[in-house]
Amino acid sequence: MESQAIENLSDAELEALAARAQEMLKVRQGQKRQEAIEQARSILEAVGLTFRDAEQMAERERKRNPVVKPQHRQGARFVNPANPEQSWTAGKGRKPKWLTELEAKGEAPEAS
């Protein structure tokens, strides 16, 4: 359909066209899904397996190799060179005054 033809449609006609397009997309997606299932079934049958066999193998693999969640890492820890008892961990609250003063002087301490 040409863009001029679409531009000349009324709001109701555009809504009907959009609804019909959505319906057609759903049908096509269903067809593609069914084709993929049939293709998978034929591949599995070619090697003597069923969907259930593949599912059981996948479950065993998941149990053998569980997904490891990344551990939360804390931010860098800064220690006041003038007073080692004062420290601050990046990401936890506002920067302390001693750190902002050091940064203003261009003497930011090294993270440990």
pLDDT of the chain, 112 residues: tens digit per residue: 576 788 899 999 999 999 999 999 999 999 999 999 999 999 999 999 998 999 999 999 888 887 777 776 677 788 888 888 888 888 778 888 988 888 898 887 777 6
Total domains in the chain come to 2
Do 75 and 60 sit in the same domain of this protein? no
In terms of residue numbers, what domain contains 86?
71-112
Do 9 and 51 fall into the same domain? yes
What's the pLDDT score for residue 72? 67
- Assess contact for 86 and 80: CB atoms under 8 A: yes
Do 26 and 48 belong together in one domain? yes
**Residue 15 token pair:** 């809504």
Task: Calculate the CA 101 to chain-centre distance.
Answer: 39
DSSP 86-104: -EEETTSSSPPHHHHHHHH
Same domain? 86 vs 56: no
Tell me which amino acid residue 55 is: E
> Which of 72, 97, 71, 103 has its CA nearest to residue 111?
103
In the prediction, which pLDDT does 46 show?
95
Residues 60 and 91 in one domain: no
79's enclosing H/E stretch is strand 77-79
